[in-house]
Structure 1
Amino acid sequence: MSERAQIKRAIGLMSGTSMDGIDLAMLETDGDANVRRGASSFAAYDAAFRKRLEAALETAKSIKARDERPGDLADLEADLTDRHAEAVEGFLAKEGLSADEVDVIGFHGQTVLHRPLEALTVQLGDGERLATRLGIDVVHDLRAHDMTMGGQGAPLVPAYHRALAAGLGGEWAEEVPVVFVNIGGISNITYIGADGELRAFDSGPGNTLIDQWVKHHAGIPYDSGGAIASEGRVLSGLANRYLASPFFTAKQRLSLDRNDFAVPDDIDAGLEDGARTLAFVTAAAIAKAQAHLPEKPKLWILTGGGRHNRMIVEDLTVATRHTGRVILAEEAGLNGDSMEAEAWAWLAVRSLAGLPLTYPGTTGVSEPATGGVLARARDRAPD
């Protein structure tokens, strides 16, 4: 049986721009059309560790080369890796699995710097350390090769979205073009045309501005369900300042760093109005992405934590009501919380098979490109 045809059991690990914890998901897949989704879980970071990660964003600004670890970043990288190992150990125990029953782990790490125009992206996470501790092969550093070939290193999930779209059944099967919208710290979209055409890019801020706003003004990590935003009103002047950014009209779609859009000043709004306006900006930015697509989507599938903010969902539904239907991932039989972690499991298997991870229509790479670095577990022989 060829490497491509082999079904492998993989675990994907994702710590995203929201920096709230680690999503874990298990798949059995060939890294192509055969996808059997399994268990998933979440391991939250404590408040002190989140503060360390937030501080790392500032420290990382001085990085000029991917392997630099100024300040305390080397220690943080080791601690972050060990937390991922603990999360996997707990996940395996819960599922009644041993390390020998998992073929590979897809390890994203924590992005602390992303500058696509400089071909520089930095994810903290030590793949060798993780593989050694767990006794499981680890595929990591999945973004870097794309950048060496002229891509922006993001987004990487779209190829997995296309695999999921091919498996949609029932009333959703004929709803094409379809767009997957991941509302994490940054929002990004994946467009899949009737012929499988793939387009993907970051659409703008997702939860990151809202999270920073409510943390600063209310001392809480996020606006649960959009409850705070629901008490406010949209401040059109503030919203228009964000939406007038050249980012939204530029012909070249750029991948975003968490710090590319700044939080409003204290004088700009109160707690509720600020949260409401930022939720509106997130939805409006997603709707604006239609201008960069070949056709208007008939179906919008929402994933990521931002889909729980009902104000974002309501605003996007209104903005797209004449052209398409907005649904949550769960309505299509998918898991909107674990999808990115699932994607990292799928990408790890795909990397082992030497299949493309990124495409000209997703990252701007010059040609379809594979990627990733394989860290072998020391007690496991090569296949």
Structure 2
Amino acid sequence: MKTKGPIWALGAMSGTSLDGVDAAMLQTDGQRVFAFGDSVYQAYSDNEASVLRAALGHWPGEEGVAAAAEVTLSAHRNLLARFDGVDLVGFHGQTLTHDPRGKGTHQAGDGQALADALNRPVVWDFRSADVALGGEGAPLAPFYHFALAKWIGAREPLAFLNLGGVGNITWIEPKHERPEDDGALLAFDTGPANAPINDLLQTRLRQPFDKDGALAIRGTSDERIVARFLDHPYFLRIPPKSLDRDTFVGLLASVADLPDADAAATLTACAAGAVARGMEHCPSPPERVLVCGGGRRNPALMAELTKRLDRPVVPVETVGLDGDMLEAQAFAFLAVRVARGLPTSCPATTGVAANVGGGILSQPRP
């Protein structure tokens, strides 16, 4: 693998929505984006998703974790083996629990075993080093968001909003040269996004998510529940800050007495309201908000965001990016940074004590 200049990296991401694995190629030197390559999505089977869901909140050695790790490794191995011309792999794994101020963070999946199976170098365990140095360990995409802001030629402050199971935002001042420069970035988790909505649909209707926001659009949000949700102390915490998927586990119970459509509308309003509260922490109002992740395909959620943020809120496709694969691309980008000794997080993105390059580089064994 070259130590200078652009290379082709393959990134993989399996998020807290537990829907499947995204994999995407990116040509980068770890500082700039040169080209986007092939990408593939592979959904988890019902059985695979069930195994992963049963292990949520569990730590290594606890019940269900070994099975979840095997599902994670198998799904990634089968998908990533389909790509050619790969110099380096970035493997995030499947987050089962995240407690940076307590036990730490846990992503299932053995990167060394994946390197052996693919016969390619793999960077993995991206979050542990950040947490060990006092950081939140999340979000980790902001350095890539900064590179994308440069790629699209942004001149004014803007924000990337990722709406996965949990929402996270990256505020960017593109006038800076490097993402670790003071004032270049601010990043943090905004609050629950798709996860509670998905859980509601799965529990009540045996559907994986609210396709096209169809259920929420038919309902009316209960603003008393939304207001109580937004009173949670998390929203007053100064960022950087991060969440586990189950930090707001009581949110689903709060809509238990509402009809299906009203419950979906209420959870959708909560997700948008959390983003609006988060925006209050940005150093200056972003000119626009570029949305990636599955939430951007939910018209009900996008309409709520537009109403509550009072500024342009548009999918990242409007600037030529792929909102489905942006997180996978991010871990390709970060893998190259790890391999070349560059930081992957800084005090403004995770609250870590100093700039840190997280991740383990595993070479394939004979």
Normalising by the residue count of structure 1, what TM-score does the alignment of the two structures yield? 0.90
Tell me, yes or no, if the aligned pair for 1:209 and 1:278 is still in contact at 8 Å. yes
Match of 2:341 among 354, 362, 375: 354
Q: Structure 2 CA distance, aligned partners of 1:226 and 1:78?
A: 33
Q: Per-residue CA shift, 1:254-297, capped at 9, x if unaligned? A: 21001011213564311100101111111111111121111011
Q: Distance in 1 between matches of 2:134 and 2:325?
A: 29
Q: Name the aligned partner's letter for residue 74 of structure 1.
A: A
Q: Contact (CA 8 Å) 2:188, 2:239: kept in 1 or not?
A: no
Aligned AA (1:288): R
The amino acid of 2:25's aligned partner reads M
Deviation by residue 1:84-137 (Cα, 9 ceiling, x = unmatched): 100112x32xxxx2xxx3111100000001001125000000111111111111
Task: Provide the rounded CA distance (Å) in 2 between the counterparts of 1:225 and 1:183.
Answer: 14
User: 8 Å contact 1:119–1:147 — kept in the other structure?
Assistant: no
Whether contact under 8 Å (2:255, 2:266) holds in the other structure is no
| Kept in 1: contact 2:77–2:117 (CA 8 A) | yes
Relative to structure 1, the CA distance from residue 133 to residue 140 in structure 2 (aligned partners, 3 Å threshold; closer, same or farther) is same
CA distances 1:126-150 after superposition (whole Å, capped 9, x unpaired): 1111111111111000111111111
Q: Distance in 2 between matches of 1:285 and 1:112?
A: 23
Residues 318 and 328 (structure 1), Cα distance of their counterparts in 2 relative to 1, 3 Å cut: same
Is the 1:116–1:254 Cα contact (8 Å) retained in structure 2?
Answer: no
Q: What residue number does 1:300 align with?
A: 289
Q: Equivalent residues in 2 for 1:172-321 (5 A)?
A: 173-174=154-155, 176-196=156-176, 197-262=184-249, 263-265=252-254, 267-321=256-310
Runs of 4+ in structure 1 off by over 6 angstroms are none
Distance 1:7 1:221 in 2: 39
Q: Aligned residue for 2:100?
A: 116
SS of the equivalent of 1:268 reads coil
Identity percentage over the alignment?
Answer: 39
Q: Any unmatched runs of 5+ in structure 2?
A: 177-183
Distance 2:64 2:257 in 1: 34
Tell me the distance in 2 between the aligned counterparts of 1:73 and 1:117: 21
Give distance in 2, aligned partners of 1:34 and 1:339.
12
Point out where structure 1 has 5 or more consecutive residues left out of the alignment. Answer: none
* Counterpart in the other structure of 1:142: 126
Partners of 2:161 and 2:168 within 8 A in 1: yes
Q: 1:154 & 1:194 partners in 2: Cα distance? A: 21
1:11 is displaced (CA, Å) by 0.6
* Number of aligned residues: 357
Alignment match of 1:132 (pick from 92, 113, 116) = 116
Q: Partners in 1 of 2:238 and 2:305 — Cα distance?
A: 23
CA contact (8 A) 2:167 2:193 kept: yes
- Is 2:130–2:356's contact at 8 Å kept on the other side of the alignment? yes
Match of 2:10, as an amino acid? Answer: I
- In structure 2, the CA distance between the partners of 1:341 and 1:2, relative to structure 1 (3 Å rule), is closer
Distance in 1 between the 2:190 and 2:71 partners?
32
Q: 1:247 to 1:192 in 2, by over 3 A?
A: same
After superposition, residues 6-155 of structure 1 pair within 5 angstroms as: 6-58=5-57, 60=58, 63=59, 68-89=60-81, 91-92=82-83, 97=84, 101-118=85-102, 120-155=104-139
Paired letter, 1:123: Q
Structure 1 CA distance, aligned partners of 2:14 and 2:152?
27
Q: CA deviation at 1:32?
A: 0.6
1-structure distance, mates of 2:257, 2:190: 24
Looking at structure 2, the residues matched to 299 and 163 of structure 1 have their Cα atoms a distance apart, in angstroms, of: 17
Partners of 1:360 and 1:265 lie apart in 2 by 35
Given residue 11 of structure 1, which amino acid in structure 2 is its aligned partner?
L
Cα deviations across residues 139-188 of structure 1 (Å, max 9, x unaligned)?
Answer: 0001111111111111110000000001114xxx34x2100000000000
The whole-number CA distance in structure 2 between the counterparts of 1:165 and 1:307 is 19
For 1:276 and 1:79, the matched residues in 2 are separated by 33
Q: What residue identity is the alignment partner of 2:283?
A: P
